[in-house]
Structure 1
Amino acid sequence: MAVAQLNAPLCASPPVPAVGIRHINLPHNERFVVVGNHLAQHDRLSLTAIGLSVHIQSLRTGTRISVKKLAERFPEGEDRISDALNELERYGYLRRTRVRLPSGQLITTTESFSNPPAMRVRAPGQPAPVPQREAPPPSVEPPVPDPVAGPEPVPLRQQTGPRPRPTELLPPPLPAAPPGASRPDPFQTCDACDLAFRAPEPGLCSACAPVAVLVAS
């Protein structure tokens, strides 16, 4: 039986582990998502909400994350998942909007924010400025004259006295009467029958004159 060597060096004792967690970190080359400490160490979000936010951020764009879909994936149930989604929406990690399609159907669009604190610093409640449009180039066409603009009209002055009558607007003179022509006798009213007839003087017409002669004789 061998004699124990009392002067042999003792085996090195394993290192005493430090108090608390130790991280064994290895780099990820694929299938990973970056999560900020503002979410992982949030002092007001529940553990369910933090874990659910990490899961949502790891999904591809277009994946449906309704309460029923998430309840089929996790054992927490619809009530706890619904409460966790409300927490994430309250602290800016999630936004759900109701949108009406052209067909009239209502759908819910969901947006996930990986860094809400940075969003609040970048946009403190003010909308982004609308880019100003460049002024159109000046028109090469001549401007249309304003019918109202122009020299003031000269007021008309009323002329006193007889107004001249332009001779070119007067009608041509009547032709002269032929020589030897006499004017017809004027109309007279017969004293017996009241018929009109032409005669140089008043009296009886040609029909009543012979009757008057016979009566007189």
Structure 2
Amino acid sequence: MATQHDIALTRALTGIPGPLPPSGVIHVSFPHASRFTIVGNHLAQHDGLSLTAIGIGVHIQSLPAGSRVGIKALTARFAEGETTIAAALRELETHGYLYRTRARLANGRLTTRTVFCDQPDALLRGGAVAPVAVEPTAVPPVAVELVPVRPVAVELAAVEPRPVMTPAVPAPAPAPAPTPVPQEAPPPVRVPSRIAPKPPRRPLPQPRELTPELHRAASALLADLRRHAPELVLSEDDVEELAPGAAAWLERGAHPDAIRHALTTELPQPPKYPAKIVRHRLAALLPPPLPGSSDLAPVRRTPATPFQTCEGCDRAFRSPDPGHCRDCRGQYWEAA
């Protein structure tokens, strides 16, 4: 089988016009008749996207409308894990190729609407949306028989014109033009703008009292992160700026191993801004203060008044002591 491929490749290379390049890739191209997708070089050669993001973007663009392109669906289709695919989808969102919004259906349920734009720059310029491309289908040529048309000579005899008397008939009134029926335009697809203002980020947590011992322990914890996650290399300025946030965690009783696990688990690949990742996690994942002993004490309930059986009518009533119910006591008082 390999020999047949080698022979076919040799024949294809001999058919390429011009001299072959001494190094680099050589393209052997054949026209596609079906099952092909047009992909722009701005995506296939994007210098800001990872190879995984480019591959997933090309795969999504080749799928028909309505296909599932969530993290679970792509993980079941490819060998990459959920973390890698989630990071690639975030890259496509950052560069404007992918938009994911929450929409409410007619039955009240929420669903995630995914929109893929094959040209983000054209979307920002307000360009017209092209119709959905349909794969061309090979149609066999139809033979058409051409029949020559012979000119026919017509001889007109000279006829003297005679006046013809026609009665005057009023011209018919023009028929009214049909009223155009307005057609409802399809609702536009709302795509979130990339230039919309972003919500303000959460402030870095601060401890109640930043003692020298607490500041030293927080700085050592942040500087030691690169031993557990080589991607999280923080500069001295970053450690000095983020030390109050880690000190707030230590002040609230968080164990250093728990803080390290929260800051180094499931990092985006590749992490372009390690200091921003650590700052976001220190602010977003801050645990609450430990409750005091009084907060954990069980709630004391007031004992309920027990039921008693009336000695006169056997009716049940609530009373700390046995005796008669209210009605029986009233009857006894009236008799007395």
TM-score (norm 1): 0.48
Q: Relative contact order (C-alpha < 8 Å, sep 6+): which is higher?
A: 2
More helix per residue: 2
